[in-house]
Structure 1
Amino acid sequence: MTGQSKLVDAAIKCSCHEYVHPWTASCFCGACGILLASIPASMRTYSIVYLLALVMKMRIPRLLDLKHTIIGIFKSTAFLSTNAYLFTLCVCLLRRLLGGFYFSTVAFMPTFIASYAALCIERPARRTPLALYVANEATEALWNMLESRGLVRSIPNGQVLILGCSLTALLFMYRLGVHKGAIKDVTFKALTILMGKEEEGPVKTPAVTTTQSPCRQPLNFRRISAYVQLYDRLRNAKHPSCPHRQGCSTYALLGGLKPFVGGVGLQVGLKLLLNITKIVKLKMDWRKQIFNKGSLQLGLALGSFSLIFKAISCGLRNVCGHDSASFAIPAGLLGSIGLLQFPNITISLYIMWKTLQVLYNWGTAEGVLPEITHFNMILYSACTALLFHCAILEANSIRSSYYKFLLTISGTRNARFNVRPFEAYGLKSQNQIFDTIKRLKIDMTSPFPTMPLTV
């Protein structure tokens, strides 16, 4: 790191041929080669994405749906291929303009420029989801970078804390009824499925309720009928301010059972979808893949979260004598205990960024926060630039799945870049790439990437 601090303002005299396309001396061939390699890979990727989106609509597609799907596949393929092509082109152009490479121009600045320009091709409706996706990946990569430098330290179940706080904020807005105003987001529809319409805001009974329950005769526990009456009272006990019809205990139990069944069904369905090839070939290990405790994790997490949230909410309504959207805060935080059943950093970071997006939209709608033009494009470009920086200079910091994705799109080029000239930065970049290749078992037997266009 001492070398990095000394050389941060000094250009490293290295040619783009030596660094980014060592298999060809031509910058034009280097850029065109990655373009040709990325087109079929991008086409395959987005064909799967769009076809899954078409299936998720759960209806027979119309001709108009098929037309929009085909156009979407071609547009997204053009966007991703252009992003890969412009990256190599910008690396070469910046090197020629500046006479060498700086720490920020090795990967970050060329990627930022290329990503911003390429995103202009993509449909506007797709830009925000793309920004949230790469923000998810970049957040974990940034944390790993800081942790490797000793600047931060991970805490046990930190991802559960992130997910719990994010869900609590979303449920607070859900109970306020923010989604019934200017903020329209599909996230609130997911909350309706998870929590039910009973908890949907705005709260209708904020005032103190003065209705008193009728006096009941004391129970004589010497008789069996007394226990039946006690069970009936517990089952039907409900405060007037509670938004549900049935008793609070029944409401909480059923509220936990439905998400549990849905979570188990979703997890099993995903496993079946991912193992469809093994099922067709009759090579599916059902006991290992389906009939195990792992298939219950998502259901247990969702079910216990919903049960605790509803039980705490009903308890607060009974104690305070009225309903309030603020009850979602303690109920959501305590309900997060159930999320320990399914700790997942990917889901946690995605929900966190989705919550930040909703909070930002709410703030701009209320005039509290300024509206930044093309913020989604800036966020996408910055996060993608950070991910490319990690893939090239700090490969151990990036998520393995995203590194494999970059390998597919680039035709294995990001694992073949010669980063030895940048060892002066003290990151041991070449060793990190070798470690990643070995860990992911990447086939590097061929001396050239896909479509090398050697000259």
Structure 2
Amino acid sequence: MANQSKLTNIPTTCIEYVHPWTDSCINATAGLLIVSALDSFRIYTIVYVASLLMRGRIPKRKDLSRTVLGIMQSTAFLTTSAFSYSAYLCFLRRVFGGFNIWTGSYIPAFMSSFTAILVERPSRRSLLTMYVANVATEALWRMASSRGMVKSIPYGQVLIFGLSTSSLLYYFRSGVHLEGKDSIYDIIRFIVGRDEEGGQKEVKTIKPEQSTRPRIKNNYLLIQKFLEMHKKVTDKLKALPKHDKCPHHHSCAYYTIRGGTKLFGIGLGIQVALKLVLNIQRIVKSPKKTMSIFFAKDTLKIGAFLGGFSFIYRFIACFLRHVTNDDKPSYSIPATMLASVAFMSYPDKTAALYIMWKALQITYNMLSDQGYLPKVPGGVIFLYCAFTAVLFHAATFEPRNLRPSYWKFLFNLSGGRISVMDRRSFDVWGLDTHAQIMKTIEMTRTGTDIKYTFGRW
């Protein structure tokens, strides 16, 4: 029976496949509702409270009220997505008398996602779509790769990042970004600087200021000497030549070096802070290992990427303005592509795919606003449902192609139930589903604590 048609129904019951721990579809759905509600509440409490704290001010009663309502609504959204998936699986089995490749996960996941997204706030739907699109794109690539349909390209994520960022920076330099006002441009402005932003007034060269620093007592003589030396070097860099077409205030050398060193320092600070948070238990147990944690090779990755990108971009942009005696938005394309080489020091797939989907979203919105592409009503909702269904399909039939972190998310959300769904009857489709799920379960057991135990493996 191997490699049976995937459109043919497999005559397995929902008791055997969906909820082998109970004979009741209602009990299975109710149990999933309870455990998913608890985990959803935990997740969104952390998310919303962290967002509230990041504002950097004492929250008012209105802020607290919005936070509580946001937690409750988002918890309802994620809980609905979890328990309605199980309910739709049982419903479709009763309608069709079995499961095929579509009704075994994709269609019920699409239906549950549609039900759930209507519960969530409209302002969050686009953000959720971007996230699932990111993870689903990676899953689809792995699925195609496992079938021999595509081949991985070395540092392909760097190419994706470069092409996507080039389009965003072109919009940024052209000034068209002012129409959409997407938050991604705040990040771009932070990395390349406000001077590269299109639509700004032309600036004039500013001579280095001869500022005076207060004298410091002898106890801090070394610091005083360092500050004086830093000021001398900075003033000399500022006084170097600057092309009239360059939009920045001081010399090109100062502009380039300052951008690179500033972003390197910020990236280093981010990496150190992350290491401190993620390794707090190890540091408390063994303070002697603190230095080894902070001075590891990967500590410089984010700083090298941010600093390298800013330095190379500014250098190439100024070089092109010097050579051509002009300043065009199109110069941002070669400057960005060359600067993207710095992404090799931090080749994160998630970041590359996020930038790709953000560029596609902004491009589509821009072209649809100009009348070149039609506006699709409910397009965001459809994309969210389609991509989420892909993730549930991968988790059901070929989990090796799903990002491990997303599998753990589904595992915790379902209280371990996703690992107990009996998929052995689906092996006739030639996907080695049972073997894949057993290996994934073993990896999950060694990596996380399982609080719930069901099934009969």
So what's the TM-score if we normalise by structure 1? Answer: 0.89
Identify which of 108, 112, 127 aligns with 2:110: 112
Change in Cα spacing, 1:331 to 1:445, as seen in structure 2 (3 Å) is: closer
1:9 Cα deviation from its structure 2 partner:
2.7
Q: Distance in 1 between matches of 2:236 and 2:291?
A: 41
For residue 89 of structure 1, the aligned residue among 59, 81, 87 is 87
Residue 200 in structure 1 maps to residue 206 in structure 2 = no
Cα 1:233–1:285, aligned 2, differ >3 Å: closer, same or farther? closer
Any conservation in 2 of the 1:203–1:323 contact (CA below 8 Å)? no
Distance 1:283 1:63 in 2: 41
Where do 1:157-176 residues align within 5 Å? 157-176=155-174
| 2:10 is equivalent to residue 12 of structure 1 | yes
Say whether the 8 Å CA contact 2:25–2:87 is kept in structure 1.
yes
Verify: 1:56 aligned to 2:54, yes or no: yes
The 2-side partners of 1:232 and 1:319 are apart by 23
| Residue type of the alignment partner of 1:66 | L
1:439: how far off?
2.3
Kept after mapping to 2: 8 A contact 1:235/1:248: no
Letter in 1 for 2:95: L
After superposition, residues 406-425 of structure 1 pair within 5 angstroms as 406-425=410-429
- Please state whether the residue corresponding to 2:244 is helix, strand or coil: coil
Q: Does structure 1 conserve the Cα–Cα contact (< 8 Å) formed by 2:419 and 2:437?
A: yes
Residues 361 and 99 of structure 1, relative CA distance in 2, 3 Å threshold: same
In structure 2, C-alpha distance between the alignment counterparts of 1:447 and 1:204, rounded to whole Å = 65
> Partners in 2 of 1:132 and 1:108 — Cα distance?
19
Matches within 5 A, 1:39-188: 39-181=37-179, 183-188=180-185
Tell me how far apart the structure 1 counterparts of residues 451 and 81 of structure 2 sit (CA, whole Å): 27
Match of 1:256 in 2: 260
Q: Which 10-residue stretch deviates more, 11-20 or 279-288?
A: 279-288
Structure 2: give runs of 5+ residues left out of the alignment.
Answer: 203-231
Structure 1 stretch displaced more, 118-127 or 290-299: 290-299
Q: Residue 290 of structure 2 aligns with which residue? A: 286
Secondary structure of residue in 1 paired with 2:65: helix
- The answer to whether the Cα contact below 8 Å between 2:172 and 2:198 also exists between their aligned partners in 1 is yes
Match of 2:215 in 1: none
What code does the residue aligned with 1:366 have?
A: Q
CA contact (8 A) 1:235 1:249 kept: no
CA deviation map 1:36-55 (0-9, x unaligned): 11011000011111111112
**1:222 paired residue number:** none
Secondary structure of 2:327 counterpart: coil
Question: 1:24 aligns to what?
Answer: 22
Structure 2 partner of 1:338: 342
Distance 1:421 1:445 in 2: 27
Partners of 2:101 and 2:301 in 1: CA distance: 43
Query: Using the alignment, how far apart are the partners of 2:260 and 2:106 within structure 1?
Result: 46
C-alpha contact 2:283 2:290 (8 A) present in aligned 1? no
Query: Percent identity between the aligned chains?
Result: 43
Q: What's the secondary structure of 2:7's corresponding residue?
A: coil
CA distance in 2, matches of 1:122, 1:446: 28
Code of the aligned partner of 2:137: T
Partners of 1:275 and 1:284 within 8 A in 2: no
Determine helix, strand or coil for the equivalent of 2:372. Answer: coil
Contact 2:416–2:451, Cα closer than 8 Å, also in 1: no
Cα gap change, 1:283 to 1:71, in 2 (>3 Å): farther
Letter of the 1:107 counterpart: S
Whole-angstrom distance in 2 between the partners of 1:240 and 1:81: 59
Which residue in 2 is equivalent to 1:301? Answer: 305
Cα separation, 1, equivalents of 2:240 and 2:164: 33
User: How far 1:203 sits from its partner (Å)?
Assistant: 6.8
Q: CA deviation at 1:113?
A: 0.5
Q: Report the secondary structure of 1:327's partner residue.
A: helix
Out of 360, 365, 369, which is 1:365 matched to? 369
2:387 counterpart letter in structure 1: C
- Between stretches 383-392 and 370-379, larger displacement belongs to 370-379
CA contact (8 A) 2:89 2:104 kept: yes
Alignment match, 1:437: 441
Partner amino acid for 2:361? Q
**What is the aligned partner in structure 2 of residue 215 from structure 1?**
none
Q: Do 1:111 and 1:385's aligned partners in 2 also have CA atoms closer than 8 Å?
A: yes
CA distance in 2 between partners of 1:285 and 1:349 (Å): 35
Counterpart of 2:242 (choices 216, 238, 241) is 238
Work out whether residues 245 and 326 of structure 2, in 8 Å CA contact, stay in contact via their aligned partners in 1: yes
CA contact (8 A) 1:11 1:100 kept: yes
The residue identity in structure 1 corresponding to 2:359 is T
Q: Tell me, what secondary structure is at the counterpart of 2:295?
A: coil
Task: For 2:123 and 2:280, locate their aligned partners in 1 and report how far apart those are by CA, in whole Å.
Answer: 31
Query: RMSD of aligned C-alpha atoms?
Result: 2.2
Paired letter, 1:192: R
Q: Is this contact kept in 1: 2:305–2:346, CA < 8 A?
A: yes
TM-score (norm 2): 0.88
Change (3 A) 1:179 1:446: closer
Mapped to 2, the partners of 1:444 and 1:270 lie a distance apart of: 26
Aligned residues: 423
Distance 1:367 1:288, change over 3 A: farther
Work out whether 1:448 is the aligned partner of 2:446.
no
Note the C-alpha offset of 1:272. 2.0
Q: What CA distance in whole angstroms lies between the structure 2 residues aligned with 1:274 and 1:292?
A: 14
Q: 1:197 to 1:22 in 2, by over 3 A?
A: same
Tell me, which stretches of 5 or more residues in structure 1 are unaligned? 206-227, 450-455
Q: Distance in 1 between matches of 2:99 and 2:237?
A: 76
Aligned residue in 2 for 1:405: 409
Partners of 1:74 and 1:155 lie apart in 2 by 43
Shift of 1:287: 2.5
CA distance, structure 2, for counterparts of residue 190 and residue 405 of structure 1: 28
Mapped contact 2:237–2:254 kept (Cα < 8 A) = no
Which has the bigger relative contact order, CA under 8 A and spacing at least 6?
1
Shift of 1:354: 1.4
Alignment correspondent of 2:186: 189
